[in-house]
Amino acid sequence: TSSPIYIATVSAPTNIACIKYWGKADAHYNTPTNDSVSVTLDQADLKAVTTVAASASFTNDRLWLNGVEEDVSQNKRFRACIDGVKALAKEPERWKDLFVHVSSYNTFPTAAGLASSAAGYAALVAALAELMDAQEEYVGQLSTIARQGSGSACRSLYGGFVAWKQGTAAGNKSPWDNSMAVQIATEQHWPEIRALILVVSDAKKDTSSTAGMSTSVATSTLLQHRIKSVVPERMEAIEKAFLAKDFEAFGQLTMKDSNSFHAVCMDTYPPIFYMNDISRMVVRIVHAYNAWAGDIRAAYTFDAGPNAVLYTLEQYAVEIGALMLHYFPADSENYINRSDYANEVAAFE
């Protein structure tokens, strides 16, 4: 007789940090040197769709990403997610010896600084939890498992505005078991908020976040300043701004923190460049636009890649989309380096 195959499919959206995670406190437990906070996007576009299957007929754990099999035999992150969820299964005996096959699709470029790993690992953990009927021992425990896949993934387990609390090495029951995601506000709290994704490049980034963080922790004095004196106050201020739906404060803090993160990248030795000339042009246009409006209507933020995310409110989204299409029409690669282009941006400023 053939063995049954048990299956679950889950999708998870990506999240875009407003106060950035950059630096690992503990590489083994994958914990951060500072708190961070992000907006989880809705499921419309940027998401991972993941199917997990378990069966006694499977002979090893396997993973397919966008239809292509990856070798996961040495992948500790993948391992940590599977073992972590198995340990929380309602009937652990039923699952403990079964291997799993995982198939995951992204609806956006992988590893181009669009937090594809965040959506991917969040969907993996959620799908395994669904399949095995995982029972959290405390609220947020599943996010500690997703964190071990990819740090930012822990924040994608919740919608709305979500913080990742750094936690403590001592933890409550085990080391870093409180380094987890906490929902600050649900997606219903501020439904007018919008994220415009400007894909500057869909090329894979040159410096992975793990490698970049480790060089920054080892070499950047600015990172130490950021951790101690910048992020704690910003976390408090941005949570307040989000709860009060104060876009001006929210936008300003988001832009400043993106700039602080990229300044740390520049202060890393050797320096890391994630933003490019187009990214910097987007920054100039957003500042010029806000100055023209006499208000903060758009806020940029950049992760570990050149792509821009613009936070705005529903009422300005079309105007900002049109503004960006004006400066970056479909054929913009062909003329973006022309001097009259730079002059046109300068004229707007």
Which residues sit at the interface with ligand PMV, rule CB under 6 A?
17, 20-22, 36, 115, 117-118, 150-152, 209-210, 303-304
The least distance separating ligand PMV from the CB of residue 333, rounded to whole angstroms, comes to 25
Distance in angstroms (rounded) separating the CA atoms of residues 143 and 151: 9
The least distance separating ligand PMV from the CB of residue 194, rounded to whole angstroms, comes to 19
The least distance separating ligand PMV from the CB of residue 227, rounded to whole angstroms, comes to 13
The smaller minimum CB distance to ligand PMV, of residues 212 and 251, is found at 212
The smaller minimum CB distance to ligand PMV, of residues 117 and 279, is found at 117
Distance in angstroms (rounded) separating the CA atoms of residues 243 and 189: 8
**In the chain, which ranges are E strands?**
5-13, 15-19, 24-26, 31-32, 36-40, 47-55, 62-65, 68-70, 99-106, 160-164, 181-185, 193-198, 298-302, 308-313
Distance in angstroms (rounded) separating the CA atoms of residues 219 and 209: 15
The least distance separating ligand PMV from the CB of residue 221, rounded to whole angstroms, comes to 19
Reading the block at residue 240, the tokens are: 């307040």
The least distance separating ligand PMV from the CB of residue 140, rounded to whole angstroms, comes to 17
The smaller minimum CB distance to ligand PMV, of residues 302 and 328, is found at 302
Q: Are 31 and 150 spatial neighbours (Cβ–Cβ below 8 Å)?
A: no
The smaller minimum CB distance to ligand PMV, of residues 140 and 290, is found at 140
Question: What's the residue count for the chain?
Answer: 349
The smaller minimum CB distance to ligand PMV, of residues 98 and 140, is found at 140
Distance in angstroms (rounded) separating the CA atoms of residues 186 and 165: 17
